């Protein structure tokens, strides 16, 4: 996504203590220099490129970087990478060399998923969209030894790229990988009848134009009180971008699907939801009926 910095001012602006006497021009110049540094810093470290940074300058107010343009690098360097297990680190670094590395789950989201799965004592899980398996490995490491993951992806080659790391971590026995589209598999599970309400957690990180189709099925398969996590629901920050914002083609193509999905989740009475700015945005749905 192209970088965009919006500078708004109202009357004479000040930037905290010691800023009195600075005119709008010098303040704006200062902020431009600061924000350019921030964008460069974030672009290097954050996973999904960067989300638009908006700096609002109000009367007697300090610059306020919105969202997590600067927080993401801090969180990764301070709380995530130092605690990342060796298998996850190895897989992350291996995936970084892949031409489509942007598709991988970010390390902070992997950490979040691991914590979440332990909190809900998950044993039976599902993952739709695997890629090289970072989130899959994070899940497998968090599950007990008898835990199970039904994993689906249309590309076995990508999965097998990360499989040696998963095997070395000693968790491959927890994974039942199915190559091919997920919808027919989900339909078969529903048709069988015995899988209704049996999954503790389902993670969806696949084709955005099918998110609503996945939800129609996963809501039947997750247990009451169980969770479904939908990835990329902030979609590179484009969900909050103005209509004329310069967006990459693949972002623009799927934006309407993501917006439609977010609106549908907000209105679905069968679930409680919480949308979090972790990674590229994850929406948690807790089935309540």
pLDDT score of 158: 97
pLDDT score of 40: 54
Q: How far apart are CA 244 and CA 225, in angstroms?
A: 40
Domains of the chain from N-terminus onward: 85-287 (3.40.50.150)
Q: How far apart are CA 199 and CA 72, in angstroms?
A: 31
Q: What angle is formed at CA 252 by the lines to CA 247 and CA 256, rounded to 5 degrees?
A: 135
CA quadruple 41, 46, 51, 53: dihedral sign: negative
Do 173 and 149 meet the contact criterion of CB atoms below 8 Å apart? Answer: no
Q: How far apart are CA 224 and CA 258, in angstroms?
A: 25
Phi (first) and psi of residue 194, to 5 degrees: -80, -5
Q: What angle is formed at CA 269 by the lines to CA 237 and CA 256, rounded to 5 degrees?
A: 30
pLDDT score of 12: 34
Phi (first) and psi of residue 64, to 5 degrees: -120, 100
Q: What is the mean pLDDT of each run of 10 residues along the chain (289 residues)?
A: 34 36 46 52 41 37 50 92 98 95 95 98 99 98 99 98 98 99 99 98 98 99 99 95 90 97 99 96 97
Single pTM value for the model? 0.79
Question: Among 201, 62, 28, 31, which Cα is nearest to 121's?
Answer: 201
Question: Among 89, 55, 83, 59, which Cα is nearest to 69's?
Answer: 55
pLDDT score of 243: 87
């Amino acid at each position: 996504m192209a970088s965009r910095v919006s500078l708004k001012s109202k009357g004479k602006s000040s930037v905290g203590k010691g800023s009195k006497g600075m005119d709008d021009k010098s303040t704006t110049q200062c902020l431009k220099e600061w924000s350019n540094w921030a964008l460069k810093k974030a672009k290097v470290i954050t996973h999904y490129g960067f989300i638009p940074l908006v700096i609002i300058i109000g009367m007697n107010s300090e610059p306020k970087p919105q969202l997590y343009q600067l927080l993401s690098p801090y969180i990764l360097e301070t709380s995530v990478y130092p605690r990342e297990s060796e298998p996850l680190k190895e897989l992350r670094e291996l995936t970084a060399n892949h031409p489509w590395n942007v598709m991988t789950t970010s390390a902070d989201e992997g950490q979040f998923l691991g914590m979440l799965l332990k909190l809900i004592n998950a044993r039976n899980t599902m993952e739709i969209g695997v890629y090289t398996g970072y989130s899959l490995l994070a899940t497998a490491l968090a599950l007990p030894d008898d835990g199970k993951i039904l994993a689906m992806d249309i590309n076995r080659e990508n999965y097998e790229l990360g499989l040696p790391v998963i095997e070395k971590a000693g968790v491959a026995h927890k994974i039942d990988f199915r190559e091919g589209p997920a919808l027919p598999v989900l339909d078969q599970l529903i048709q069988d009848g015995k899988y209704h309400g049996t999954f503790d957690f389902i993670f969806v990180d696949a084709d955005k134009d099918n998110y609503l189709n996945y939800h129609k099925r996963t809501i039947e398969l997750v247990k009451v009180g169980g969770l479904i996590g939908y990835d990329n629901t902030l979609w590179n920050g484009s969900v909050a971008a103005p209509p004329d914002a310069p967006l990459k083609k693949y972002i623009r193509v799927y934006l309407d699907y993501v917006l439609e999905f977010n609106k549908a989740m907000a209105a679905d009475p069968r679930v409680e939801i919480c949308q979090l700015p972790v990674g590229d945005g994850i929406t948690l749905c807790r089935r309540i009926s």
